[in-house]
């Protein structure tokens, strides 16, 4: 094909150049769209992984809640796990923020997710091993007080408040009023306290103090029976645990005969200086009537 003049030839070359540029742009646009699609896919994949990582971290958090009720002491090991988990959660939040940024480095985020996932898994397994391998023991401070009895499962028992609710002079209550159905046996303190509260309308007395007590986050305290006081004496006082008074006996939740009112006149006390129990005047007097609440877990 011959051109009549150079002007026409230049026009054709220009058109061809434009066509080449247009075709090239379309090709580059396709590549750019494909790249954007790939990045979006990578971001979505990262978000899924971060979500899974968050779920693993939540599992550690749930295990920590279980630890609070099932292990003997939230000691340095568990405190360390809590601190590490807090750090992991902070880093997860940072990852979520980073994913929203246009210049996010996909490779770096992927590496960080893998590291955090491994860290969370290690923390979770460590905590479960610690929980499953630890049983509550007498003398442990857990579940609101000091453990003085543990059943064969190692997870349930009784705790005494870590301080006296009364240091002496408190009335047992309702002198010469019939309070029926109390039992001196171990394990009867809760039932005894309920019966006393139901049958005694006096404003302030030993069983009522325990029944109204809210201590260390727990409100289900009660006045111990003779049998429970005896075990507190053997397992705590004899081992130098609990700061129990020895100059003032402690009220039990058990009625006893005393004075002219007979069975309705007295109640048993327990002496932590020598491990003996005696009947005392229900109204209380100077030198008697210390109160130490207990609860079951």
Q: Distance (Å, rounded) from C-alpha 144 to C-alpha 153?
A: 19
Q: Which residues pair with 282 in a beta bridge?
A: none
Enumerate the domain spans of the chain.
Answer: 6-132, 141-296
> According to CATH, what is the number of the domain 6-132?
1.20.140
The backbone torsions φ and ψ at residue 295, rounded to the nearest 5 degrees and listed phi first, read: -150, 160
Q: What is the pLDDT of residue 50?
A: 63
142 against 112, higher pLDDT: 142
How does DSSP assign 122-150, residue by residue? HHHHHHHHHHHT----TT-EETTEEEEEE
Please say whether the beta carbons of 139 and 147 come within 8 A: yes
pLDDT tens digits, residue range 211-260? 999 998 899 999 999 999 999 999 999 999 999 999 999 999 999 998 88
Q: What is the pLDDT of residue 166?
A: 93
Could you tell me which of 293, 45, 27 has the C-alpha nearest to residue 161?
A: 293
Task: Note the pTM of the prediction, 2 decimals.
Answer: 0.58
Min mean pLDDT across 112-126, 135-149, 270-284 is at: 112-126
Band of pLDDT at residue 87, cut at 50, 70 and 90: confident
């Amino acid at each position: 094909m011959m051109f009549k003049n150079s002007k026409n030839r230049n026009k054709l070359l220009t058109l061809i150049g434009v066509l080449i540029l247009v075709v090239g742009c379309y090709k580059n646009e396709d590549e750019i769209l494909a790249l954007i699609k790939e990045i979006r896919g990578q971001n979505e994949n990262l978000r899924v992984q971060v979500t899974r990582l968050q779920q693993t971290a939540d599992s550690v958090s749930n295990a920590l809640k279980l630890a609070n009720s099932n292990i003997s002491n939230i000691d340095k090991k568990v405190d360390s796990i809590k601190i590490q988990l807090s750090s992991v959660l902070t880093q997860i939040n940072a990852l979520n923020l980073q994913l929203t940024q246009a210049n996010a480095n996909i490779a770096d985020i992927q590496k960080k997710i893998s590291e955090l996932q491994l860290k969370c898994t290690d923390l979770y397994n460590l905590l479960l091993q610690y929980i499953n391998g630890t049983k509550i023991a007498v003398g442990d401070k857990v579940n609101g007080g000091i453990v003085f009895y543990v059943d064969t499962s190692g997870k349930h028992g009784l705790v005494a408040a870590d301080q006296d609710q009364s240091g002496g002079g408190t009335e047992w209550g309702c002198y010469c009023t019939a309070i029926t159905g109390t039992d001196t046996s171990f394990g009867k303190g809760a039932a005894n306290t309920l019966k006393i509260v139901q049958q005694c309308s006096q404003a302030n007395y030993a069983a009522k103090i325990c029944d109204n007590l809210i201590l260390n986050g727990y409100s289900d305290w009660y006045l111990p029976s003779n049998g429970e006081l005896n075990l507190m004496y053997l397992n705590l006082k004899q081992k130098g645990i609990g700061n129990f008074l020895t100059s003032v006996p402690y009220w039990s939740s058990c009625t006893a005969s005393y004075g002219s009112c007979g069975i309705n006149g007295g109640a048993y006390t327990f002496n932590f200086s020598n491990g003996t129990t005696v009947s005392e005047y229900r109204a209380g007097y100077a030198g008697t009537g210390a109160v130490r609440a207990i609860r079951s877990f």
